[in-house]
Every structure is written in C-alpha cells, then in structure tokens.
Amino acid sequence: MAQSYNPFDVLELRLNSIENLLLDFKHQYISAPPKQADQWFDLNELCNYLPDKPATATVYGWVHTAQIPCHKGGKKLRFLKSEIDIWLLQGRKKTLQQTALEADAYLLKSKGGAGRTYGK
C-alpha cells in the first residue's frame, strides 16, 4: 500500500529546522564578542592623538578647508576616531614605483600614449 502524505509532518520538520537555525543564531550572537564603540575626540584630544601633534589653529584650518573629517554640534567640533584613522591612511605618500605605474597607466589611456618606464 502507498504511504499516506501528512502535511503536518512536513510542517513539524520545517518548524524544527527553523527552531534549530534560531538556536544556532542565538548561540553565535551570545558568544560573539561585542563590538567596541567608536571613540569621539574633541579638538584637544585629536591634537594629542595625531602623530605630528598639530596646533589647534592648524586643525581649525583643516576643518575650514574640509581637509579633515569632522562633526559639528553647535559650536563644538567632534572627530570620530575611525574616520580620523581612515583619513590618516589616505594621506600616505606613494612610492616612486606606484607613481610610475600610475603614470604608465595614464599614458596608455591617453591618445597616442606609448607607455614609458620610470624608476626601473
């Protein structure tokens, strides 16, 4: 005889599967280390954090020319550490080889550019 199809058995299997997934998610969430909250700097803290320890007037100049990421609440400037770290990394000088590769790529893209080799 053919076995009868019971839709409630299928529902029970699916519910058990969902329950197991939720329990796995719960255990992963509990065992995961909490994310560390980002740190805010005021102007003086930022000056002390930056490697070259600039004067506050210098930082005001950077803010005025939009060279540094900042947040303004009323009259108070605030700086997010993660944004400052990214900003510092973007300011890294390129090596001679990196500059030469970029120049070659530019020359190849431009009209009639025959790639040159610098610094080799």
Q: Which pLDDT band, with edges at 50, 70 and 90, does 103 fall under?
A: confident
Task: Say what the pTM is.
Answer: 0.51
pLDDT at 70: 94
Q: Looking at residues 93-119, what average pLDDT do you find?
A: 73
Is 120 within the bounds of a domain? no
| Nearest alpha carbon to residue 118 among 91, 98, 94, 93 | 98
- Evaluate whether residue 6 is within a structural domain: no
DSSP the chain: -PPPP-HHHHHHHHHHHHHHHHHHHHHHHHHSPPPPPPPEE-HHHHHHHSTT---HHHHHHHHHTT-S--EEETTEEEEEHHHHHHHHHHTPPPPHHHHHHHHHHHHHHSTT--------
The verdict on residue 79 lying in a domain is yes
Question: Domain of 60?
Answer: 40-90
**Is 119 among the domain residues?**
no
What pLDDT digit, counting tens, does each position of 30-84 carry? 766 556 778 999 999 999 999 999 999 999 999 999 999 999 988 899 999 999 9
Number of domains comprising the chain: 1
- pLDDT value, residue 111: 61
On whether residue 107 sits in a domain, the answer given is no
